[in-house]
Structure 1
């Protein structure tokens, strides 16, 4: 399979019991970086399989991308034989990762103690909605729910006239997935130092509260508070793409040098000497008025004129790119970011691996696998005999490869 064994995680074996997006995004990163990711699915399959569009009913575009480089085995974990087969697969695995609620994984008899009994060096990662030590532990959670619970929806409302809205991307799933990925890699590094496996908990709610509060804790960092938990620059109604004479532009006039360069471009008008522009502190305190004044100026010239001026002045600025335009962005094309290939699902364009490694580069694997596409292969590699495989297939504990 393309991608396996190429990258800094080559030789790492992952048992992946995640579904939907948070967990599969984390394990996509592992697969891109060379790990052997075995996607363990229920007989019904990961629900994301069935989100269109796609070449067939069981492999939509999102599934093909986020599960690239993985192999699929279907195990009925409600059967004792299926559970036993999974524990046997875990004997030589490095990581066991799941996205079930703690009570659900416990009912299957697949908690950390069960996996550690099979392999004391295993890294066991829980990715779910809420930490199991609190009263929300058994609440179901998806991206929209965690956006609402973590303050993100409330922050979005500050920019939409008070009307609550979700971010137009599944930010909670992806941030939690990234957090899960770095946590597992950190645990693998620790095991190299200590020889010890361990259990990891990555709850979406706590992860997104931490993420949101990086800048927004602000004055509430202190006790007693020196201000509300809000970073005013980020929530100012004036913080938005600026309208130009013929469209819109993204501009970030941020530090003192940027402001001096901006005023130089404008010929240092009289209003630029207003004390509110004097420093980072005064600009932050008066952020609404500062950004509103910039908006008055930007509307006087075209987008192309401003881009040329800002690039010359080394002020961060860019035209507003649509998703369609990104598919043909000249920078992404020249860097080889988009990877096009012929697959059993037709010609596919994958977004590339955003990180590079000079000595151990990763590689994008084959598109997300057919349901149970490698069941027997995975079992044989784990040392199951043909008779044992046949017995598991006959009982329905494992599904035969398509």
Structure 2
């Protein structure tokens, strides 16, 4: 029965979200109930009693109506029944989002501020690849699920460190978000991504996810034996110059980058596929990892890795509009991106600050003279 419900759910859902412009579906109560039951099975949902289930069903119906009406319009992206489909937008915001305060260095993050900043300015005219996807280059682990713990900052930091470690060493190792929750911040509350980079450097490394698995909660103590299992190291962190999408593009051409966005909107909650061009401000309340960029049907986008499981977005990923003519970037994505730094060999710092392998089409920083230069794109 569960398998049949899931099959019907997926069939009905695919028929209603397969086009970017179509009539608004007229759904019977029976069809909606089948969708709801299939959605419950797919997401392994359970409710404490029939009253709670009925409440969630009414919210589900309202979200479905919102999704259907959006998908009937002419948009660059579709909405879908995500894992948040039984939540009001207020519940989604209060459970999964938190207002992120600016970093303490916020007012001074205007230039690079990493362990080798003099060598890391862009110095000549740099031609960047038209697109890059670090999944294709083996630097991205599978999508993870943060649950109700507000630990997006830990998943963002870990994804960025996993990426640079693979680029430098060739080894893609899934790392422990739980270690950051338990031993670094000691909380499931608001935190900065760059603080976790500092912790990993200060601790001389971070353990694997397999050894120190995620529990979606603060465990009330740090497992120091696992904390001392230092599998992957970094040598510092840096900031992409604020509010400069061209510099952000150049950095993402080198490695995955941590960023913060405003995910407050209902469309973000129910995002399905395509380039997200919907309204959002820059009151950043969620951390994500930029793992690439590209262009789809004439619209530039950032490729975002999220931490809400594979049933949100494009199997856990989002294409977020890029080059919108606002210096802050879509949803504030360009305001304070940061990244981990890892050297292959310290003696290589002068010629290649990251010690990275060659990336096809990636910018070459080997001719640095310390003077900031101009970036161009293909």
Pick the TM interval, shorter chain: under 0.3
More helix by share: 1
TM-score after normalising by structure 2 = 0.25
